[in-house]
Amino acid sequence: MQTVHVTILVVYLALMVGIGLWFSRAKAVSTADDYVFAGRNLPRPVMIGTLLATWVGSGTIIGGASFAYSYGPLASIFFMAGTPVGIVVLYFIAKRVRRYSTFTVPELLERRYGLGVRVIAAIITVLAYTGITAYQFTGGGYIISVITPLDPQAGAIVVALLVTFLAFGGGLKSVAWSDFLSALVIVLVLMTALPLIIGGDIGGVGQYWDGMPETHRTLSGGLLPLQLLGYFLPLFLLILADQNMYQRLGAAPTENAARNATAGFFLTSFLVTVPVALLGSAAVVLLPEIQPDTAILSLAGEAYLPAIMGGLLLAGALAFIITTGSSFLLSGAGNVVYDVSQRMLGVEMDDRRRLWVHRGAVLVIGVVAYVLGRFFPTVLELQMYSYTVYGVAIAPPVLAIFFWSRASKAGALTSMLLGVVVTITWEQLGQPFGLNSVLISLPVALVSLVLVSLALPDRTRRSLDGPDGPGGADGAAASGANDTGPATGRTGTQEA
């Protein structure tokens, strides 16, 4: 334990608590729209920062580094490529996502497919997002254990409390601004640490390359092509239908702002994923006996970096994990409010009551997520499981909204249910033949969506631009603010 590391961690966490307290004021968050969409007035740098920090959490800092440590930097290209490739797709639909902005993805699905699809999607989302929140707690616990005498389980409790606090108090406003701060710190530290580790501690690029095991210097890292694909697809599918991404794009002031923020997200993603892949694989040269999950954390904790730099790396990594956890916790709680309480159970709520039910759901999911995290031994294992369940079930029907007009309610329901059942079954069988479940469940979901939609088409095709869309009364009531301007009023100047 280094005093400098502990000091930096305490100061950084105190700063994040301060941000949470500031945006928890009644003046800052007075409506459900403030809580979920931050009033739709986030500046562009904050929009980019919150997109980046929401996506890059424990799954990258811990899971991505673990993959790089285990299989090498070249194989990591396939693992992490799901992020930029998925962002490219988001870029082309960003304007329409902003135009049809909804509180939840299941609400968007209902507009196209009907209530039954929304119900199933809501259940899947809550379960998957609880799992994703859980591995943020686990990953954060690892970092706490590196910096302090606390063990990972005690550290996970600390992280769970802070994550829940940020989501509970200020909603997206506090999460977005803490995201922005975290993104600035972690990008600067990773880009600075990279030459210090490879050029300094290892001795140069040549020594770095020669010092890795032989399999780490191959394109596949010793994995089969199908196995590599099995790591690529979960990230790719998740980002395509991630409710956090859709909510943040919906929080943009205009449609053009949403697309521009997505472009910034694409560019800045490389500033994190590339250093993580290189640093994670560099750790196997310097620390060949450590647990893969702690690859990057150990570089900071074992004095390979200057104390201040190492402290900032650990604090920044923890901050990324905390803000990502807060985002998924806040988003999953939104499903409980808008999809379960209001739509499924028919509970009538005014804006004030809706806000407090949302906060109550945050507390409940936070507790469940912590308990769930105790049952998975590694972050990477829980990450892949949660990503796959959500991505396989939700991504195909969501993308069909934008790219295939013939998708039907029956096709969407069949695709979602089979995607979940096949994923869970394959995982419970222990991943036969060493194949990740996404390689089996995704083809099943896609084929069933197409075949059932063609065999059982909808008699009346729903349109997002029709009576149930953002321009109609039902759509306006469901989302609260589907205009292209600020949430305070409809501007009537929709961008092309």
Please indicate whether residue 436 or residue 263 has the higher confidence score (pLDDT): 263
Reported confidence tier of residue 413, pLDDT bands at 50, 70, 90: very high
pLDDT confidence of residue 32: 61
Q: How far apart are the first and last CA of the chain?
A: 55
pLDDT confidence of residue 492: 29
Please indicate whether residue 351 or residue 455 has the higher confidence score (pLDDT): 455
Are 337 and 354 in contact by the 8 Å Cβ rule? The answer is yes
Q: What's the Rg (C-alpha) of the chain?
A: 22
Cα atoms in the Cβ-side hemisphere of radius 13 Å centred on 430? 1
List the chain domain ranges.
3-395
Q: What is the pLDDT of residues 88-125, one digit of tens each?
A: 999 999 988 888 877 889 999 998 899 899 999 998 88
Q: Is the dihedral of CA 376, 378, 379, 382 positive or negative?
A: negative
Q: What is the pLDDT of residues 158-169, one digit of tens each?
A: 888 888 887 776
Angle at Cα 381 formed by Cα 378 and Cα 385, nearest 5°?
145
Reported confidence tier of residue 27, pLDDT bands at 50, 70, 90: low
Mean pLDDT of 339-345: 87
Are 286 and 201 in contact by the 8 Å Cβ rule? The answer is yes
pLDDT at 466 over 60: no
- Check residue 252 and report its DSSP letter: S
Please indicate whether residue 312 or residue 373 has the higher confidence score (pLDDT): 312
Q: Is 482 helix (H, G, I), strand (E, B) or coil?
A: coil
Reported confidence tier of residue 69, pLDDT bands at 50, 70, 90: very high
Are 38 and 243 in contact by the 8 Å Cβ rule? The answer is no
Tokens 């479940």 correspond to 437
Nearest-CA neighbor of 398 among 242, 234, 231, 229? 242
Are 362 and 130 in contact by the 8 Å Cβ rule? The answer is no
**Amino acid identity, position 298:** S
pLDDT at 463 over 80: no
Mean pLDDT of 319-330: 82
Lowest-confidence segment of 30-34, 180-184, 425-429 by average pLDDT = 30-34
pLDDT at 481 over 50: no
Question: Considering the chain, what is the average pLDDT of its residues?
Answer: 81
**Element at 211 (helix H, strand E):** helix 205-211
pLDDT confidence of residue 279: 92
Question: How far is 427 from 407, CA to CA, in rounded Å?
Answer: 28
Tokens 């998975």 correspond to 376
pLDDT confidence of residue 453: 95
Nearest-CA neighbor of 241 among 106, 365, 41? 106
Mean pLDDT of 253-273: 92
pLDDT confidence of residue 4: 82
Are 36 and 334 in contact by the 8 Å Cβ rule? The answer is yes
Give percent above pLDDT 90 in the chain: 24
Are 11 and 316 in contact by the 8 Å Cβ rule? The answer is no
Question: How far is 21 from 301, CA to CA, in rounded Å?
Answer: 30
Mean pLDDT of 260-287: 92
Question: How far is 239 from 220, CA to CA, in rounded Å?
Answer: 23
Q: What is the pLDDT of residues 365-411, one digit of tens each?
A: 998 888 877 765 554 455 556 678 888 999 999 999 988 989 999 99
Are 68 and 197 in contact by the 8 Å Cβ rule? The answer is no
Angle at Cα 95 formed by Cα 173 and Cα 245, nearest 5°?
40
**Amino acid identity, position 186:** I
pLDDT confidence of residue 491: 31
Count other C-beta atoms under 10 Å from residue 344's C-beta.
Answer: 15
Give the pTM. 0.76
Reported confidence tier of residue 65, pLDDT bands at 50, 70, 90: confident
Question: How far is 139 from 321, CA to CA, in rounded Å?
Answer: 7
Reported confidence tier of residue 479, pLDDT bands at 50, 70, 90: very low
**Amino acid identity, position 405:** S
CATH 1.20.1730.10 at 3-395, yes or no:
yes
Tokens 């059932």 correspond to 452
Residue 120 is encoded by which pair of tokens? 């199933």
**Element at 241 (helix H, strand E):** helix 225-241
Question: How far is 181 from 162, CA to CA, in rounded Å?
Answer: 16
Count other C-beta atoms under 10 Å from residue 94's C-beta.
Answer: 25
Q: What is the pLDDT of residues 224-258, one digit of tens each?
A: 888 888 888 888 888 888 888 888 888 888 899 99
Burial of 151 per CB tally in 10 Å (0-12, 13-18, 19+) = exposed
Are 419 and 441 in contact by the 8 Å Cβ rule? The answer is yes
Question: How far is 162 from 339, CA to CA, in rounded Å?
Answer: 26
Please indicate whether residue 320 or residue 218 has the higher confidence score (pLDDT): 218
Question: How far is 129 from 163, CA to CA, in rounded Å?
Answer: 14
**Element at 44 (helix H, strand E):** helix 44-55
**Element at 459 (helix H, strand E):** none
pLDDT at 322 over 70: yes
pLDDT at 324 over 70: yes
Reported confidence tier of residue 303, pLDDT bands at 50, 70, 90: low
Helices (H), 374-408: 379-403
